[in-house]
Amino acid sequence: MTIAPLSGGLGVRTRLIDDPGRLIDLLPDDQNPLSWVRGSDGLVGWGEVARFTGTGPQRFTEADAWWQSFTRRLRVTDDVQVPGTGPVAFASFTFADSSAGSTLVVPRVLVGRRDGLSWVTEFGDGPPAVRAVSPVRPTGTLRFADGMLPVAGYRTAVAEAVRRMRAGELEKACLAHDLLAVGDEPFDPRFLLGGLAERYPTCWSYAVDRLVGATPELLVRRTAGVVESRVLAGTIWPGSGDNLSGQLLGSAKDRHEHALAVDSLADALRPLCSTLDVPEQPGVIALHNVSHLSSDVRGTLDPADPASLLELAEAVHPTAAVGGTPRKAALRLITELEGMDRGRYAGPVGWVDSSGDGELGIALRCAQLDGPVARLFAGCGIVADSDPHKEAREAAAKMVAVRDALQAGN
């Protein structure tokens, strides 16, 4: 665990501002822009006041303890008093306990908008931070190369997972593979972020430590004692025939996969809630490249001991939507068959404020940027009825989101 030092008595102030326009357009030429934006609302930040990094099964607990300690030492002036004002940290956690890179980043400047209100939060007592404004750099020419698990290896992994499920070893596992996009110059994270936000306005467009993506799946939101989650599992994509929603709702395989994901989330949340509303039937959410079965779960936290956002994340991650069921068997299978470190792909990503409220999505439809190399990820929920070739096509359809955004204008 690494914690950046903090001087005592640091001041932070939130004040109302006029509508700043599209939030993502405010981001300066910074190699580590911070974003959590959906439509016109959300948060963006730049600069860095403090940082937590951790690894291991206690990373959520340690991050939560650090964040509480950090915020208690601040002199806070909050003229707005809505979720996302006052001190805020952007969060991104690894999928696996053993992976390094889980982090909280506290921005020097944050700009937010919610329900018609716009605000800026700034640390320090000096003049406002100056942004280094420069045009967004397009990607340019790209070359694609196999990642740690090529498509052929992915099909083999899916086939082996199906064999084990039919033998009764487990019910579901979510397997992923990666793809490398290589440019001639280092990527500008703002180009990918802006392209995803434009194409997928109903998703949460995020950027933390150069992990950039747009996720349709909300792992957990905490607001004043209420917890919410949007579970997605079961997928269809254009080219699969007519009436995609009807096909998806009528698919026994997809309905079973979805039910496993909803049940795993509900089972994890129920001990922390006094009430929990779980829909009996899923709906369908349609995106530009795919459609998913979707269920919105809502609960009231135990008022005697309400869990913080990061405590909720520790309880529910990974759900069967990105891990599998039974959880331990699925995680062992993922480690064995993928043979790669997912890093922060499929881990919780979002923001947390000083009251323990905030939003964490699941880091899907994303790329990890490293200079001129972008590592793209996509995965699918595998059950006993899965077909390896169809699952590879589904993963390719999901990867279209990032590929198109990277190649825009080329």
Residues noted as catalytic: 172, 217
Q: Tell me, what amino acid is at 341?
A: D
Instruction: Tell me the three-class secondary structure of the chain, residue by residue.
Output: CEECCCCCCCEEEEEECCCCCCHHHHCCCCCCCEEEEECCEEEEEECCCEEEEECCCCHHHHHHHHHHHHHHCCEEEECCCCCCCCCEEEEECCCCCCCCCEEEEECCEEEEEECCEEEEEEECCCCCCCCCCCCCCCCCCEEEEECCCCHHHHHHHHHHHHHHHHCCCCCEEEEEEEEEEEECCCCCHHHHHHHHHHHCCCCEEEEECCEEEEECCEEEEEECCEEEEEEEEEEECCCCCCCHHHHHHCCHHHHHHHHHHHHHHHHHHHHHEEEEECCCCCEEEECCCCEEEEEEEEEEECCCCCCCHHHHHHHHCCCCCCCEECHHHHHHHHHHHHCCCCCCCCCEEEEEECCCCEEEEECCCEEEEECCEEEEEEEEEECCCCCHHHHHHHHHHHHHHHHHHHHCCC
- CB contact set of 237 (below 8 Å; sequence gap of 6+): 244, 289, 290, 291, 393, 394, 397
67: nearest Cα among 49, 81, 82? 49
CB 29 within 8 A of CB 134: yes
